[in-house]
Amino acid sequence: MMCGAVPMGAIMDAVRGLIFDLDGVITDTAEYHYLAWKQVADEEGLPFTREDNEALRGLSRRESLLRLLKGRSVDEATLQIWMAHKNTYYLAYLDEISPASLLPGVAVLLEDAKRAGLKLGIGSSSKNAQQVIQHLGLKALFDVIGDGYCVVNAKPAPDLFLWVAGALGIFPTQAVVFEDAEAGVEAAQRGGFRTVGIGAAAQRATLWLPSLQAPPLAEMLQRLATV
C-alpha cells in the first residue's frame, strides 16, 4: 500500500502496532451506557442528561457513578448496588450488537492494518469489552484485548495503554492509540503514545479526525509522522 510519495514500508519501521479504544472508536456503545445509567438515575431520583453522559466517555464504571452523583455522598454498599444495577441494564443491550455495529471506516482500517502486518490491540475501560468484541465478531483479529480488569488505575492514567503495548511486545513510541474521549487521549499522551482522536471530545490528539472513514491508514500514519 502506498500513500503519496511515502512507501508503507518506510512508515512501518516506526509504527508497529495500533491500539484501539472500544466505545466510541470501534463501536458506539455510549448510547447503551447512557440508557443504563439513566435507568439507575431515574430509579434513584438523580438528575442525568445525555449531555452529562458525554462527560463520562472513557471513564470507569465507578468514576462514572461518582460524576453522576455530582458530589452527593453515598455509602460504599449503595455505590456497589447501583453499579451492579447499571451493569445489568447495560448487559441487556449487548444482544443488539453485531458485526453491523462497527462505526464507519473501522472495518477497512482494521483490514488495512492487518494486511500491513501491524499488531492490533484493544485498550478499553470497560469490564464488558470481551463480550462486546465477541458480539462484533472481532475476537480473532486482535492480538491483545486490554479491558477494565487489566490495570488498577483507569484512564486518564496511562496504565492500560502501557499494559496493552507491553502485551503486544512494542514500545509506546511504536504504537498509535485511537481514542474518542478526553480522558483516553490524556492517558495515551501520558504514556508517550501518538494519538488519533475521533470526534468532538478528542481534539487534543496528535491527529484529530471526525471519523475513521478517511483518510486511509497509510495517510494517517504519514500525517502522524510529520506532526
Q: Which residues are catalytic?
A: 21, 23
One residue of 16, 38, 61, 119 binding ligand B16 per CB under 6 A = 61
127 contact choice in Mg ion, ligand B16, none (CB below 5 to 8 Å, kind-dependent) = ligand B16
By CB under 6 A, the residues from 40 to 59 that bind ligand B16 are 56-59
SS3 90: helix
Q: Which residue intervals of 70-203 are DSSP H helices?
A: 76-91, 106-115, 129-136, 159-168, 182-190
Alpha carbons 197 and 34: distance in angstroms, whole number: 21
One residue of 17, 106, 125, 218 binding ligand B16 per CB under 6 A = 125
174 binds ligand B16 per the rule CB under 6 A: no
Alpha carbons 181 and 198: distance in angstroms, whole number: 8
Q: Please state the closest distance from residue 52 (CB atom) to ligand B16, in A.
A: 12
Alpha carbons 174 and 192: distance in angstroms, whole number: 10
Binding residues for Mg ion, per CB under 5 A?
A: 21, 23-24, 58, 180-181
222 binds ligand B16 per the rule CB under 6 A: no
- Burial class for 187, CB neighbours closer than 10 Å (0-12, 13-18, 19+): buried
- The residues that touch ligand B16, with contacts defined as CB under 6 A, are 21-24, 33, 56-61, 64, 87, 124-128, 148, 181
